[in-house]
Amino acid sequence: MGNILQISIDGAIFSRCLDCFLGKAAYIRNLQDNVVALETELGKLIEAKNDVMARVVNAERQPMMTRLNKVQGWLSRVDAVKAEADELIRHGSQEIEKLCLGGYCSKNCHSSYKFGKKVTKKLRYVGTLMAEGAFEVVAERAPESVADERPIEPTVVGLQSQLEQVWRCIQEESVGIVGLYGMGGVGKTTLLTQINNKFLESPTNFNYVIWVVVSKDLRLENLQETIGEKIGLLNGGWKNRRIEQKALDIFRILKGKKFVLLLDDLWQRVDLTKVGVPLPGPQNNASKVVFTTRSEEVCGLMEAHKKFKVACLSDIDAWELFRQKVGEEALHSHPDIVELAHTVAKECGGLPLALITTGRAMACKKTPEEWTYAIEVLSTSSSQFPGLGNEVYPLLKFSYDSLPSDTIRSCLLYCSLYPEDYCISKENLIDCWIGEGFLTERDRFGEQNQGYHILGILLHACVLEEGGDGEVKMHDVIRDMALWIACDIEKEKENFLVYAGFGFIEAPPVRGWKRARRLSLMHTRITNLSNIPTCPHLLTLFLNKSNLSMIHDDFFQFMPSLKVLNLSYSKLTDLPVGISKLASLQLLDLSELNISELPEELKALVNLKCLNLEWTRYLISIPRQLISNLSRLHVLRMFGASHNAFDKASEDSILFGGGELVVEELLGLKYLEVTSFNLRSSPALQSFLSSHKLRCCTQALLLQHFKDSTFLEVSALADLKKLNRLWIRECEKLEQLKMDYTEEVQPFVFHSLKNVGICGCYKLKDLTFLVFAPNLESIEVTSCRDMEEIVSMGKFAEVPEVMANLNPFAKLQNLELTGVINLKSIYWKPLPFPHLKSMSFLNCHKLKKLPLDSNSARERNIVIYGDGRWWEQLEWVDEATRNAFLPCFKS
């Protein structure tokens, strides 16, 4: 018999196996019922979700309310389970079809088992979510964000780098107050808005970022209410508290917080302590105040730790912004338009507001003729251009209206008489203001100082800009705004006629001049003025910088009120004798004319206070007693007069000889306060120096053709307290500019000296005296072939303590050396040169070292001009210095 296999199974194990089998079988057996139940329960869950969502939407319509995180989480889970359940329900019919034997088995048990298990789990999860969805509260008051996001247009190209620069500054703990200043429409508010929104993008540990629009009508109550609202103080009762009480409440909260206060559009100082704002700084949780203003002066009044000028855009960035606003469709609608569009964009002077306004106006212009017309309108009558007269100029006019006085406003409008992009001499501009009667100080130097004070106000208000040395400029759009005001014929007080820079070949019809008070034909191509105008109200007439070569003798006959006449830089070779009819004339500018004589008839200008003859190079005849007859003359400028023709002067001219007659004539002027002139001999120089009056009023001196002098006692000039310009030219035998360096030299003896020019002094050895001119800005040395040093160390060998107390060339901006062929040294050691802008070296091949090291001119905003071969042979104190200045060189 074979063996019998006997298996014995424990009852408990059998029971567990049976339960497992029956449980898994239940996934198959109950599949159809579970799919139906899942669809039903899912429907109920979606209904519950819609009810909760309706409650959430209703709650979030209330200010500052936001849904709870647990509600949002539940809603998200419901959305997720619906997507998964819908998928199961959609495939359910296919799995049910696989069932057999009354639903107790499946044609594919494994597939039906897995599917049934998923359905069962999802059904349980739907039930769990259903239970979790019973919310008593779905939303609550949201915690306030650190900053309120402010609407802003797309970032203006060109502002991004400024944003990054200011943002880095805000991160510095040592900087508490930051000022952003610039002209109207330049993008200050846009930049401040970007800073505000950046606090939402960047993680910071500030408790509050508070935005306040201040504007011109500053009221502390308004500032307090805006701040109070942000920090949770504002309610009916608090609003009625006194300023002092509200300040204490604001201070109590902010003193323990880290905050940023953004103040937009400041026109005057805001006393933060009166508002209740703790003064920012490291001692106050490193809080910050950032403000915008049109006035650099406000930055000082607010004691800003850092200030940033928001400048106009570069040509590249300006074009990009303009292009965006015009749109590609208009720009490419004709091949000629892009070039014309560049011209239109340039008329906006890089001012974002003008670029945006003009760009939008041109977006629908698709023919070259329309663009050409737009250029003409912008050039001649820009206030008629869409958007400028009613959007841009009124905004800029706020700056004009906010100037401190009518006098200062008139001084600004006066600058619009000059052409676009013109660099205006500060000295000449102030002379015109004085001639017009704008300035009211008792003496000429007082008036000049007042003029420079007004220029400072206009520069700080960002309605004028610094130009070149001693010059200012008016931004094109500011100038257009000024003309919009000044050319208003309804304003009898102003009523300008300005044709400056328009390229007129013929003078505009004189019948239109009758009501003009100020007329500018400057920078035109007009060659003659043959018609005789009637201008009873005319005060200023600019005919300078023109092709003018002839003026009718009776041209000035009907200008009884004329005070300022500028004929400089024109092509006149003879003056019309009719000038003598200008009885009210205060200022006559004949500088840079090629005239050879002054007519006797000028004696009739009995009210003349300022006569400018500078650089009338060919002038040989000034009749004796002519100058002294101008008895009310306060200013006589003759620097460079007769420069090219002095040896042709006749004996009846005060220009005859070495200058003694000029000195004599000047001494006859009772009211003379400012003068500049030339001397050509030692006796003339001694005669000049013997006059206390002339020493006190001389601003510029040209010493020329001292034929027999081998030395000049330059220390004698140290007593000229107003001397700011000294030129020495063609003194061929001059070997030494003497100073006694061994005695106790008063520091800064040439305190006013700013400009020095030495030319054609072949034997001169050095210019060591310049170390005693602490405010020197410009040095020009030409054709001094024997000069080996600019400053000689040997002259201080016996008195080193004198040199130890000096800081030479601390304010030097420009150094120009030409044809100084034996020069070996400028200074024997490196100097800091903190204000240096340019150095120029031509035919100075023996100069192997520059007085520079890695600490010199640290901003590196300088240009060094010279020959490439000379540059390659220069010796440097170290490689770091060479590398630092390598980018500054221009061949």
Quick one: average pLDDT of 370-387?
Answer: 86
Same-domain check for residues 296 and 349: no
Report the pLDDT value the prediction gives residue 455, as an integer from 0 to 100. 94
Q: Is the pLDDT of residue 309 over 70?
A: yes
Report the pLDDT value the prediction gives residue 424, as an integer from 0 to 100. 95
The backbone torsions φ and ψ at residue 742, rounded to the nearest 5 degrees and listed phi first, read -85, -20
Same-domain check for residues 304 and 320: no
Does any domain span residue 737? yes
Bridge partners (DSSP) of residue 65 are: 141
**How far is it, in rounded angstroms, from Cα 422 to Cα 315?**
18
Number of Cα atoms under 13 Å in the Cβ half of residue 789: 14
Determine which of 92-101, 303-312, 854-863 has the lowest per-residue pLDDT on average.
Answer: 92-101
Q: Is the pLDDT of residue 387 over 90?
A: no
DSSP string for residues in 751-792: TT--EEEEES-TT----GGGGG-TT--EEEEES-TT--BSS-
Q: Is the pLDDT of residue 6 over 80?
A: no
Report the pLDDT value the prediction gives residue 67, as an integer from 0 to 100. 85
Which residue has better confidence, 123 or 547? 547
83: its two tokens: 């997507």
Buried b (16+ CB within 10 A) or exposed e, 44-77: ebbebbeebeebbeebeeeeeebbeeebeebbeb
In single-letter form, the type of residue at position 582 comes to L
Same-domain check for residues 322 and 406: no
**How far is it, in rounded angstroms, from Cα 724 to Cα 378?**
41
Does any domain span residue 644? no
Report the pLDDT value the prediction gives residue 888, as an integer from 0 to 100. 92
**How far is it, in rounded angstroms, from Cα 277 to Cα 227?**
9
Report the pLDDT value the prediction gives residue 3, as an integer from 0 to 100. 45
Q: Residue 342: which pLDDT band, with cuts at 50, 70 and 90?
A: very high
Same-domain check for residues 196 and 264: yes
Same-domain check for residues 73 and 180: no
**How far is it, in rounded angstroms, from Cα 529 to Cα 513?**
13
Does any domain span residue 504? no
Give the CATH number for residue 844.
3.80.10
Same-domain check for residues 276 and 341: no
Report the pLDDT value the prediction gives residue 114, as an integer from 0 to 100. 73
Tens-place pLDDT, residues 190-210: 999 999 988 887 767 788 899
DSSP code for 417: G
Which of 490, 589, 585, 594 is closest to 538 using CA atoms? 585
Q: Is the pLDDT of residue 22 over 60?
A: no
3-state SS assignment for residue 614: coil
Same-domain check for residues 791 and 869: yes
* CA distances in angstroms from 128 to 77, 121, 134, listed in the order given: 11, 11, 11
Quick one: average pLDDT of 42-66?
Answer: 84
Which of 280, 309, 338 is where one domain is finished?
Answer: 309
Report the pLDDT value the prediction gives residue 151, as an integer from 0 to 100. 84
Tokens 């306030």 sit at which residue?
144
- pLDDT > 90: percent of the chain: 55
Q: Is the pLDDT of residue 61 over 90?
A: no
Tens-place pLDDT, residues 761-795: 999 999 999 988 999 999 999 999 999 999 988 77
Q: Residue 744: which pLDDT band, with cuts at 50, 70 and 90?
A: low
Which of 464, 486, 508 is where one domain is finished?
Answer: 486
Q: Residue 683: which pLDDT band, with cuts at 50, 70 and 90?
A: very high
Same-domain check for residues 320 and 362: yes
Which of 888, 774, 812, 835 is closest to 826 using CA atoms? 812
Does any domain span residue 464? yes
Does any domain span residue 663? no
Q: Residue 490: which pLDDT band, with cuts at 50, 70 and 90?
A: low
* CA distances in angstroms from 493 to 91, 292, 515, 537, listed in the order given: 90, 33, 10, 10
Q: Is the pLDDT of residue 316 over 50?
A: yes
Tens-place pLDDT, residues 174-192: 899 999 999 998 889 999 9
Give the CATH number for residue 305.
3.40.50.300
Quick one: average pLDDT of 151-162?
Answer: 76
Quick one: average pLDDT of 243-258?
Answer: 90
Tens-place pLDDT, residues 541-572: 999 999 999 999 999 999 999 999 999 999 99
Quick one: average pLDDT of 253-278?
Answer: 91
**How far is it, in rounded angstroms, from Cα 475 to Cα 312?**
10
pTM of structure: 0.78
Report the pLDDT value the prediction gives residue 643, as an integer from 0 to 100. 83
Report the pLDDT value the prediction gives residue 551, as an integer from 0 to 100. 96
Number of domains present in the structure of the chain: 5
Report the pLDDT value the prediction gives residue 748, as an integer from 0 to 100. 61
Report the pLDDT value the prediction gives residue 130, as an integer from 0 to 100. 87
Same-domain check for residues 262 and 195: yes
Tens-place pLDDT, residues 511-521: 989 999 999 99
Same-domain check for residues 361 and 403: no
Q: Is the pLDDT of residue 804 over 70?
A: no
Does any domain span residue 546? no
Sign of CA dihedral 722, 728, 729, 733: positive
**How far is it, in rounded angstroms, from Cα 348 to Cα 477?**
6
CA dihedral 563, 566, 567, 568 (to 10 degrees): 150
Report the pLDDT value the prediction gives residue 108, as an integer from 0 to 100. 57
Quick one: average pLDDT of 142-149?
Answer: 70
Give the CATH number for residue 413.
1.10.10.10
Report the pLDDT value the prediction gives residue 795, as an integer from 0 to 100. 74
**How far is it, in rounded angstroms, from Cα 710 to Cα 732?**
9
Q: Residue 412: which pLDDT band, with cuts at 50, 70 and 90?
A: very high
Report the pLDDT value the prediction gives residue 17, as an integer from 0 to 100. 38
287: domain range? 160-309
Return all residues near 478 (Cβ < 8 A) that are at least 6 apart: 183, 396, 463, 464
CB of 773 closer than 8 Å to CB of 800: no
Does any domain span residue 625? no
CB of 367 closer than 8 Å to CB of 331: no
DSSP string for residues in 317-380: HHHHHHHHHH-HHHHTSSTTHHHHHHHHHHHTTT-HHHHHHHHHHHTT--SHHHHHHHHHHHHH
DSSP code for 138: -
Same-domain check for residues 46 and 191: no
Same-domain check for residues 256 and 370: no
Tens-place pLDDT, residues 432-480: 999 999 998 888 888 989 999 999 999 998 899 988 788 999 998 899 8
Report the pLDDT value the prediction gives residue 25, as an integer from 0 to 100. 65
Return all residues near 3 (Cβ < 8 A) that are at least 6 apart: none
Which of 437, 467, 486 is where one domain is finished?
Answer: 486
Quick one: average pLDDT of 229-245?
Answer: 84
Q: Is the pLDDT of residue 240 over 90?
A: no
- pLDDT > 70: percent of the chain: 89
Mean pLDDT for all residues in the chain: 87
Report the pLDDT value the prediction gives residue 872, as an integer from 0 to 100. 93
Other beta carbons less than 10 A from residue 594's beta carbon:
15
Does any domain span residue 339? yes
Other beta carbons less than 10 A from residue 23's beta carbon:
9
